[in-house]
């Protein structure tokens, strides 16, 4: 079937290219509008306890968005400052959409810094405003606040922080994409030995990304699309399309060198039948990994999974259609060999072994020690995971230049008792119910509680209290407090809302759903690898090695982003935790891309194994080395290219984006060197012909008994 597809694509190559050009142009013209249609998406499933509590609070006493301003630079008692703040405060109260203004001069709220050089102004908007309406009100309020006669005015709050997160994500994607494309283009031109050959993979990448952005633009009319999904599309689209293009180009060069007189239609058919099969299996494996994100029930992760799955499918379609069509059209401009595959004449003809082949040869000579050392090294790198802390990214994850972050730091650093978002307790009992006062006293005595403030003016039959944690609003102490509040002996279930409750629920949701997601990913990728290799052992071993890579990568991220090792070099401030979504995204991305390289190598190793006699004692080792020698340069080049793509995102300013960029670059580096170069050949040498065992097959012992039935 794939051979027929390759032949058809070659015969209609101009039509195929024309279709993709139209798609790319449409994506360039209309796909860019997806940035205007993205929106912030909740990070908790709808039924989470904190979400239920917050929905109840919104129904009882809805609150609007808030802006917080820090007025600094002169004595708070200066008459000019008092008059200026008072006048502006009354002006802001008259702005449509403003519900309340709290300041130190015209309201009961008096919040002055410890050095008497700063004061706070808090503006609450009316409930029910849409995001667009709230931003318009925020712009008018901000313009008024900046007319206060003070040397320094910082304006922030959750609304502004969310806006800056979204804007920064788009800027980071643009910077990362631009730098990555230029660097990858230069790399491919050098390694593939020509301008046309080097730009061919990028043409495929642009086609895949443009098609996905166009699709997301249409979906945004029906479903929520996160701005972070756009980053995912860029990251995966460029990387996978380049990977698939390199594999097809390398196989075409090989087929043409083996049979230079063959018609181009036949060469294209053979290329798609062999390398195209690996592309199809790889794309299916990466898609299966992304589908696993849906199991978490997290709206944000689901949005990212949707964008990622789309780009993987389209990158696979690009690899099976556009790339063969481009190869058939530009075959004269594709060199017989590129910089990745130079010939040697030292010990005879044949390809010069690349990095992976040299590492594989070393591993096969000492399989036991190499396998032990590689596994131990990966486990050592994963050791920091014992100390990992997860949290939801907040304003501290914004760059230092962010005004929302500067406002937050000014509030926390200059005021003795800075305002913090409390844990809000909702109990469906009347405020006059017996024992409720004792319950509030019990709350006050709980470890980690600073104050308890019962609310008034509520409908009968419900009681609400704000519990202020003594530490940070979502730190470990506040998280323990959530569990203590929910466990109180109350006349009705205690519902708890607030940042710490949301984080506790997010962690619990991940822990509960992780086994399901793992099962989906492991079963799907295992089945695909079994279909590719007809072996049970190879898929199990591949999944185990991928998990080792992921554990080591997460350990490195803890050291870098939680402990701050190298923070100055990478240009960020550690905030003592990893974003909760980082391990989940890294799991599916790194697992999928690791499987990408695994499929490339195993597909060729299986071909080489099938060519050898089953009774050859060295058939397994020879097949492994031959497969790695043939495909290793492609994998190395693909890893370099996709590593550059990931490192391009390190240039961004969002810490969460840096985490993904560094994490993926580390995962690719470890996977291509330690895992594919050393651990894979070492373990395959240790297992010998048992690598190819499956139920119903028999194989001789490693000592070399003739094999009668083998998975072929």
Helix (H, G, I), strand (E, B), or coil: what is residue 578?
strand
- E strand segments, 145-212: 152-156
Task: State the first-to-last Cα distance of the chain, in angstroms, to the nearest integer.
Answer: 19
Q: Parallel, antiparallel, or unpaired: how do β-strands 578-579 and 390-391 relate? A: parallel
Domains and CATH numbers, the chain: 2-37+163-341+352-384+505-692 (no CATH), 60-156 (3.30.70.100), 422-497 (3.30.70)
Give residue 86's pLDDT.
94
Residue by residue, what is the 3-state secondary structure of 277-335? HHHHHHHHHHHHHHHHHHHHCCHHHHHHHHHHHHHHHHHHHHHHCHHHHHHHHCHHHCC
Helix (H, G, I), strand (E, B), or coil: what is residue 678?
helix
Residue by residue, what is the 3-state secondary structure of 480-533? HHHHHHHCCCCCCCEEEECHHHHHHHHHHHHHHHHHHHHHHHHHHHHHHHHHHH
Give residue 709's pLDDT.
36
Burial of 429 (0-12, 13-18, 19+ CB in 10 A): middle
Q: What's the token pair of residue 481?
A: 């407090």
Q: What's the token pair of residue 277?
A: 């099969």
Residue by residue, what is the 3-state secondary structure of 403-446? HHHHHHHHHHHHCCCCCCCCEEEEECCCCCCCCHHHHHHHHHHC
d(CA 268, CA 279): 15
Backbone dihedral region of 298: left (phi > 0), alpha (psi from -120 to 50 degrees) or beta?
beta
Torsion over CA of 588, 593, 596 and 598, rounded to 10 degrees?
A: -90
Q: Taking a C-beta distance cutoff of 8 angstroms, is the pair 171, 229 a contact?
A: no
Give residue 339's pLDDT.
53
Q: How many CB atoms lie within 10 A of CB 447?
A: 9
Q: What's the token pair of residue 638?
A: 């693909």
d(CA 603, CA 474): 48
Beta bridge partners of 69: 121, 155
Q: Taking a C-beta distance cutoff of 8 angstroms, is the pair 681, 363 a contact?
A: yes
Q: What's the token pair of residue 109?
A: 């709220």
Give residue 708's pLDDT.
34
Give residue 93's pLDDT.
94
d(CA 21, CA 5): 20
- Under 8 Å CB-to-CB from 345, ≥6 apart: which residues? none
d(CA 347, CA 331): 31
d(CA 141, CA 24): 42
Q: What are phi and psi of 709, to 5 degrees?
A: -135, 125
d(CA 550, CA 538): 18
Q: What's the token pair of residue 377?
A: 């090294």
- E strand segments, 435-476: 449-454, 463-469
- Under 8 Å CB-to-CB from 186, ≥6 apart: which residues? none
CA angle 193, 243, 4 (to 5 degrees): 95
Q: Can you spell out the DSSP letters for 595-640?
A: HHHHHHHHHHHHHHHHHS-TT-TTHHHHHHHHHHHHHHHHHHHHHH
Q: Taking a C-beta distance cutoff of 8 angstroms, is the pair 537, 689 a contact?
A: no
Helix (H, G, I), strand (E, B), or coil: what is residue 579?
strand
The 152-156 sheet, strands edge to edge: 98-102, 118-125, 66-72, 152-156
d(CA 1, CA 272): 10
Backbone dihedral region of 231: left (phi > 0), alpha (psi from -120 to 50 degrees) or beta?
alpha
Average pLDDT per block of 10 residues along the chain, 712 residues long: 89 93 87 70 78 89 89 91 94 94 88 89 90 90 94 92 81 76 84 84 87 79 68 76 88 87 90 89 83 76 78 90 92 73 42 75 90 94 92 82 90 81 90 87 91 87 90 86 91 90 89 84 83 85 88 93 87 84 79 78 82 61 85 84 80 82 88 89 86 66 38 32
d(CA 114, CA 123): 22
Q: What is the DSSP letter of 122?
A: E
Q: How many CB atoms lie within 10 A of CB 690?
A: 15
Side-chain half-sphere exposure of 154, counting CA atoms within 13 A: 21
pTM of the full predicted structure?
A: 0.79
């Amino acid at each position: 079937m794939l051979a027929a597809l390759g032949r058809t694509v070659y015969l209609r190559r101009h039509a195929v290219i024309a279709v993709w050009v139209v798609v790319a142009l449409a994506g360039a013209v209309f796909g860019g509008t997806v940035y205007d249609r993205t929106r912030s998406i909740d990070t908790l499933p709808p039924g989470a306890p904190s979400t239920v509590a917050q929905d109840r609070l919104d129904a009882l006493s809805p609150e609007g968005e808030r802006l917080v301003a820090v007025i600094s630079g002169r004595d708070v008692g200066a008459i000019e400052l008092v008059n200026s703040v008072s006048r502006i405060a009354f002006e802001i109260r008259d702005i449509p959409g403003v519900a309340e203004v709290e300041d130190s001069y015209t309201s009961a709220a008096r919040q002055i810094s410890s050095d008497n050089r700063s004061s706070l102004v808090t503006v609450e908007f009316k409930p029910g405003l849409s995001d667009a309406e709230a931003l318009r009100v925020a712009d008018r309020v901000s313009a008024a606040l900046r007319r206060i006669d003070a040397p320094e005015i910082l304006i922030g709050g959750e609304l502004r922080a969310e806006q800056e997160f979204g804007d920064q994500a788009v800027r980071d994607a643009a910077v990362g994409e631009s730098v990555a494309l230029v660097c990858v283009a230069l790399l491919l031109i050098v390694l593939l030995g020509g301008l046309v050959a080097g730009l061919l993979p990028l043409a495929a990448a642009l086609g895949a990304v443009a098609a996905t952005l166009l699709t997301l633009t249409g979906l945004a009319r029906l479903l929520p699309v996160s701005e972070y999904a756009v980053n995912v599309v860029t990251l995966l689209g460029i990387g996978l399309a380049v990977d698939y293009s390199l594999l097809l180009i390398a196989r075409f060069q090989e087929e043409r060198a083996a049979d230079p007189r063959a018609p181009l239609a036949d060469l294209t058919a053979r290329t798609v039948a062999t390398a195209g099969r690996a592309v199809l299996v790889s794309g299916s494996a990466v898609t299966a990994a992304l589908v696993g994100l849906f199991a978490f029930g997290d709206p944000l992760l689901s949005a990212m999974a949707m964008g990622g799955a789309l780009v993987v499918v389209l990158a696979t379609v690009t690899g099976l259609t556009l790339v063969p069509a481009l190869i058939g059209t530009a075959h004269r401009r594709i060199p017989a060999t590129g910089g990745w595959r130079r010939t040697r004449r030292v010990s005879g003809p044949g390809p010069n072994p690349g990095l992976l082949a040299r590492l594989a040869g070393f591993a096969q000579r000492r399989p036991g020690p190499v396998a032990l050392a590689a596994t131990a090294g990966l486990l050592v790198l994963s050791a920091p995971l014992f100390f990992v802390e997860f949290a939801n990214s907040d304003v501290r994850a914004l760059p230092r230049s962010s005004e929302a972050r500067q406002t937050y730091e000014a509030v926390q650093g200059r005021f003795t008792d800075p305002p913090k978002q409390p844990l809000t307790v909702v109990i469906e009992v009347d405020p006059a119910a017996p024992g409720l006062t004792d319950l509030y006293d019990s709350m006050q005595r709980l470890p980690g509680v600073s104050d308890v403030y019962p609310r008034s003016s509520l409908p009968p039959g419900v009681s609400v209290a704000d519990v202020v944690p003594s530490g940070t609003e979502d730190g470990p102490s506040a998280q323990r407090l959530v569990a203590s509040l929910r466990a109180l002996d109350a006349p009705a279930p205690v519902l708890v809302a607030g940042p710490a409750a949301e984080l506790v629920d997010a962690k619990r949701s991940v822990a509960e759903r992780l086994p399901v997601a793992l099962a989906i990913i492991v079963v799907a990728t295992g089945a695909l690898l079994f279909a590719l290799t007809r072996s049970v052992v190879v898929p199990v071993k591949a999944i185990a090695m991928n998990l080792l890579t992921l554990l080591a990568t997460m350990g490195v991220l803890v050291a870098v982003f939680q402990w701050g090792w190298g923070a100055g070099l990478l240009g960020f401030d550690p905030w003592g935790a990893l974003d909760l979504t980082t391990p989940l995204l890294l799991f599916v991305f790194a697992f999928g891309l690791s499987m990408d390289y695994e499929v490339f190598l195993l597909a060729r190793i299986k071909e080489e194994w099938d060519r050898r006699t089953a009774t050859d004692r060295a058939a397994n080792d020879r097949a492994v080395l031959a497969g790695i020698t043939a495909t290793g340069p492609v994998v190395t080049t693909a890893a370099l290219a996709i590593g550059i793509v990931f490192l391009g995102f390190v240039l961004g300013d969002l810490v969460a984006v840096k985490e993904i960029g560094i994490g993926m670059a580390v995962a690719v580096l470890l996977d291509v060197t330690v895992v594919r170069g050393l651990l894979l050949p070492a373990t395959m040498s240790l297992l010998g012909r048992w690598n190819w065992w499956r139920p119903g097959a028999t194989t001789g012992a490693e000592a070399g008994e003739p094999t009668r039935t083998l998975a072929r």
